[in-house]
Amino acid sequence: MMRWLPLALLCALFLALADFFVKLASNRISASVGMFVYGVTTFLVAVGWVVYERVTGRPLLATVPGVWASLGVGLAFSAVTILLYVTFARVNVSIGSPVIRLTGIVLASLLGILILREAVTWRYVLGVALAIAGVALIVLR
């Protein structure tokens, strides 16, 4: 069935918490220092995870394309973090977060369709239209 769904919902919870904490910090720390704290934290969590997998005997896979794609992830999330601090210093999280996330969802899914050749269905098109309408409704409240 959909064994991935609980993981996706947990991921969404942590994404919401990240936005909430960035909003709490955005007027209390400069974006550069906030980004630094974020970077140190993610580095320490990553080191812990790699050490745990190494100690428990799990294989550590790294291919050249995987490393390049992971560098892209790091650069993209770095930009997201900086822009979240700057954005949330200027707008309520109840407006900024849905606009950022819904627009990001639509753009990511379009990349999946255009570059990865993922399928397009009428339900997908309806979902994209509803997401775009949702962004408009949130911005124009």
Q: Which of 73, 93, 75 is nearest to 22 (CA)?
A: 93
At 29-63, the pLDDT tens digits run 999 999 999 999 999 999 999 999 999 999 999 99
Same domain? For 24 and 77 the reply is yes
Task: Give the Cβ contact number of residue 100 at 10 Å.
Answer: 19
Same domain? For 96 and 52 the reply is no
Same domain? For 82 and 129 the reply is no
Same domain? For 111 and 48 the reply is no
Report whether pLDDT(9) > 80. yes
Same domain? For 62 and 110 the reply is no
Same domain? For 73 and 102 the reply is no
Residue 127 lies in domain: 92-141
Same domain? For 85 and 105 the reply is no
DSSP of 22-63, one letter per residue?
HHHHHTTS-HHHHHHHHHHHHHHHHHHHHHHHHHTT------
At 71-104, the pLDDT tens digits run 999 999 999 999 999 999 999 999 999 999 999 9
pTM: 0.85
Same domain? For 62 and 127 the reply is no
Same domain? For 84 and 56 the reply is yes
Same domain? For 77 and 15 the reply is yes
Supply 125's token pair. 């098109």
Domain count, the chain: 2
